[in-house]
Amino acid sequence: MTSNATAVWHGSGKEGKGTLSTKSNVLNNAHYSFKTRFEGSEPGTTPEELMAAAHAGCFSMKLSFVLGAAGFTPDEIETGCAVTIADGVITKSELTMKAKVPGITPEKFQECAAEAKANCPVSKAYNCEITLDATLL
C-alpha cells in the first residue's frame, strides 16, 4: 500500500505560500505557509498538524486491533496528539487517549495501549520522544 500527497510551494521560505493535496482529495489545495506554521496568524495547516492527525489516527486504529486480539471490542477510542517543533526539529509527539472498552481491566487496558503506542506504524516512523496518557472511561 502506498499513499500519495503533493506539496506546491511558491516564493521564499518566510514570505512564500503553498498548498497540500492528497490523492484522495481529502486535502485539496490546503493552504500552508510560514505564518500558519510558526505564527498561527492566518488560516491553514502545518506539516506538524498533519503529523499529529496521522499519529492520532494510526494509534487509534492500532489500539482497536490490539484490543480485538486480546478479546475486547472498544465502544470508542478518542485520541488527541500534539506534535512539538523546537529549533527546527520535531522533538515530541504526545498522545492523549480516552477509551470506552467494556469488560477490560485497567491493567490490561494500559498493556494494550502501550503495545499500540510502540507498534503503530506512525510511532515506528517518528524519530522523536513519544508519550502516551491513556484513560479508561
pLDDT per residue rounded down to tens, the chain (137 residues):
899 999 999 999 999 999 999 999 999 999 999 999 999 888 999 999 999 999 999 999 999 999 999 999 999 999 999 999 999 899 999 999 999 999 999 999 999 999 999 999 999 999 999 999 999 99
Domain that holds residue 31: 5-39
**Cα diameter, the chain:** 56
User: How many structural domains comprise the chain?
Assistant: 2
Residues 67 and 92 in one domain: yes
Question: pTM score, two decimals?
Answer: 0.94
Nearest to 34 by CA among 64, 19, 14, 53: 14
Shared domain check, 82 and 20: no
Instruction: Give Cα separations from 62 to 44, 56, 79 (angstroms).
Output: 28, 10, 12
CA-wise closest residue to 114 among 75, 59, 38, 51: 59
Q: What pLDDT is attached to residue 41?
A: 83
99 with 58, same domain: the answer is yes
Whole-number pLDDT of residue 101:
98
